[in-house]
Structure 1
Amino acid sequence: MTTIQSTTTAITSLYEQDFYLWLQTNINLLKEGKFAEVDLENLLEELESMGRSDKNGLKSNLRVLLMHLLKYKYQPENQTNSWNYTIIEHRIRLRDTFKTSPSLYRFFEEIFNESYQDARELAAAETGLSIKVFPSESPFTVEEVLNADFLPAESEDSENME
């Protein structure tokens, strides 16, 4: 076995034993230009995983935000500071995501309607209201959802929806 193969094998086994040390070792190898010694297979897998993780986090934050906006609009009598906090928190998380990865905004727009459907289900489950209470199309625009000053007005029909 050559020295490079043995180094690569050692780094690959390090991946299973000490992830942080594996990461630092690969970073140093890349900085030193020792590309043949980098654990490329695991490194590529980790990079792909990071992209999926960012997308999943964005989708999760959007769902939670939409669900709370629905609850705010369709159960105004139950509004709490906790709901306001959650709305603010998830807007901040989305804003942070777009600061570090502006290209994810396009993904946000692509999944908006799908996430709204998920939020309808979650809102119905949490409030005990029928899913039919919540419109099949989002009553909120993308801009409103991200607008720190936007809170939905009470629905005219909210009193008759239980």
Structure 2
Amino acid sequence: METAMSSLKAHSQTLYETDYLQWIETTVEKLQSQDYANVEWENLIEEIADMGRSERRSLKSNLIVILMHLLKWQFQPDKRSGSWERSIIEHRRRVKEALDDSPSLKSYLEIVFAECYAQAVKQAKAETGLSMESFPLNCPYQLAEVTDDEFLPKNWV
């Protein structure tokens, strides 16, 4: 029996490395049939942890894009375009969907807000040609404004 289990484990590991989708489907079948002894727990645990990291990375990325376009909107009003507004709308939609699916991400969003703003300033600088000093040191928008479909900043005075 030990040899059969070793062989099955080797097959599962190979399957994980060679056909990810089939590994997922096989793992789901094992879990549904309560065949816990043959579940490849190490890879399953890693995949679940990766899912959480991926959700957080995606949320940060979408927030950075929103903040960057809000900065461009505010600090380059003469260059405003429909593509900036479309991007703001699309990335707000993605953030809202992520928060709807996982409300616990809201506290994470609050934690990384300042970090995301700093990244958005760097990207806005690169895209606008404006100096870093052109942008406020701290985010001029509240998180609620950034995610509000109706909010667009006024021109900087």
Question: Which interval holds the TM-score relative to the shorter structure?
Answer: over 0.9
The alignment's TM-score, normalised by the length of structure 1, stands at 0.94
Deviation at 1:79, TM superposition (A): 0.1
Match of 1:138, SS state, is coil
Deviation at 1:69, TM superposition (A): 0.2
- Partner residue, 1:65: 66
Distance in 1, Cα, partners of 2:53 & 2:130? 33
- Partner residue, 1:128: 129
- Partner residue, 1:90: 91
- Partner residue, 1:12: 13
The correspondence of residues 6-155 of structure 1 with structure 2, limited to 5 A, is 6-155=7-156
Distance in 2, Cα, partners of 1:5 & 1:37? 10
Structure 2: runs of 5+ lacking an equivalent: none
Seq. identity, %: 42
Distance in 1, Cα, partners of 2:100 & 2:3? 45
1:7-35 Cα shifts (integer Å, max 9, x gaps): 22211111111110100000000010110
- Partner residue, 1:159: none
Structure 1: runs of 5+ lacking an equivalent: 157-162
Determine if the alignment matches structure 1 residue 3 to structure 2 residue 1.
no
Q: CA RMSD in A?
A: 0.9
Distance in 1, Cα, partners of 2:125 & 2:10? 52
The alignment's TM-score, normalised by the length of structure 2, stands at 0.96
